[in-house]
Amino acid sequence: MALLTADQRRQVARRFAEVEFRDNNQTANLDVDDLMAAAQEADIYQDSVTVAYNTALPLRFRNNATARQKNLLLRLVMEEHAP
Amino acid sequence: MSAFDFNNTSGRYVEAAGSSSINNFTALTFWLWFYADAFQSGDRWWSKFGQELINNFGDADDFYLSIDRATTLAEAASNENFATGKWWFLAGTYDESDGPRLFKGDLDTAVAECAYTTRNVGAGATNSSTGVLRVGTGYNFTTGQPDARVALFGLRNDRLTLTQIRRLQYAPLMAESATKLLWWLGYNGLTNVPDLSGNLNTGTVAGSVALANGVPIELIPLFTRPNYAAVEAAPAGGHPAMRRLGLFDYMRPVEIGRQNVRIF
């Protein structure tokens, strides 16, 4: 399910475009419509991942940890996974 | 005062090579007079590596000034209607503590700060910006362009206050020491646009030159004879906008160089 508002998706697209344009040495191969469509799909994917992550957690942690604590745990694991 | 007409013509833009005078600004003010026939998604009104003004979504209320910073992007998205078919004065400022701001005015309205949908100061050092500067490109930086006319474009390496920006709005074209680039884009139709700031940031026109007189802007350009008749025919006390700003006396035409002037 998509959670972001249209304005939030626009903001994601704007920021992505700026970073991509600079890092790609002032060239852009994706247009704004591409970015908006991708932001919507990424939003849906992120929601599904969050739901799946919550379901995967052990019951005591799932029921007693706050959302912030769950995010912290996931971020720490992702950092360890990163090369 | 004539203007350069980008006119939605592919590959038409104005470029300055990166130079020591316009690279790596950690504070800046830009300003331009423009007249849009339409807004299109992805128009880059001016763009320099990591520092730019873009209309991402083609809306009259979507000017987005972004400055690349080491930790978090500085960004300001306007929430003001810059209607098509009218001359607008648009300015923006940035420094590392104040972040980005946008300002809007027109021929009869003194410039004021825009409302925003987003404004983030950003964090970290301002990243370097050594690339070329282009005014009026499309999203991919080469093709596409605003469907608009731009009369002048200025860039300084300091952050002006609102009061100082108001002076710029109706002032003759002039360059103070912090002005690093000042183009009167409708100057003469040459393929090279002289830099009136004296910093030699000459603009090179890509694609065909196109001037449009459009609706006249009542500014008095540097090095050209003022339109005395128009100024003197204005209502008593001068043009309303000039009068409101107390500029009429300052802009009262004075004949210089014709007679009775001695240079020592």
For residue B152, give the H/E element and its range. Answer: strand B147-156
Q: Over chain B, what is the mean pLDDT?
A: 84
- Under the banding of pLDDT at 50, 70 and 90, the label for residue B225 is very low
Distances (CA, A) of A28 to B11, B50, B145: 15, 13, 14
Alpha helices, DSSP H, located in chain A: 6-23, 32-56, 59-64, 67-81
Whole-angstrom Cα distance, residue A21 to residue A14?
10
Structural tokens at position B200:
């030699």
Would the pLDDT of B58 be above 80?
Answer: yes
For residue B66, give the H/E element and its range. Answer: strand B64-67
Of residues B217 and B107, more confidence is placed in: B107
- For B51, other C-beta atoms within 10 Å of its C-beta total 28
The number of CA neighbours under 13 Å toward the Cβ of A33 is 2
At residue B211, the pLDDT reads 83
Least CB–CB distance from B141: residue in A19, A26, A31 = A26
- Contact at CB, A27 and B77, closer than 8 angstroms: no
Residues 11-30 of A with CB under 8 A from B: 11, 13-15, 17-19, 21-22, 25-29
Of residues B258 and B159, more confidence is placed in: B159
Would the pLDDT of A33 be above 80?
Answer: yes
Q: Which residues pair with B44 in a beta bridge?
A: B54, B137
The chain B residues in contact with chain A (CB within 8 A) are 41-42, 47, 49-50, 52, 54, 56-57, 64, 66, 68, 73, 75, 77, 117-118, 127, 131-132, 139-141
- Three-class SS of residue B64? strand
- For B75, other C-beta atoms within 10 Å of its C-beta total 23
- Under the banding of pLDDT at 50, 70 and 90, the label for residue B150 is very high
How confident is the model over A51-71, as pLDDT tens digits? 999 999 999 999 999 999 999
Distance of CA B209 to the CA centre of its chain: 19
Residue B262 sits at φ, ψ, to 5 deg, of -115, 135
Would the pLDDT of B255 be above 60?
Answer: no
At residue B219, the pLDDT reads 55
- Under the banding of pLDDT at 50, 70 and 90, the label for residue B157 is very high
The lowest-confidence range among B124-128, B138-142, B156-160, B227-231 is B227-231
Q: Over chain A, what is the mean pLDDT?
A: 91
- Under the banding of pLDDT at 50, 70 and 90, the label for residue B218 is low
Residue located via tokens 């104040």: B98
**Exposed / middle / buried, residue B58 (Cβ in 10 Å: 0-12, 13-18, 19+):** middle
- Under the banding of pLDDT at 50, 70 and 90, the label for residue B231 is very low
Task: Tell me what ipTM this predicted complex has.
Answer: 0.77
B chain contacts of residue A7, beta-carbon cutoff 8 Å: 117
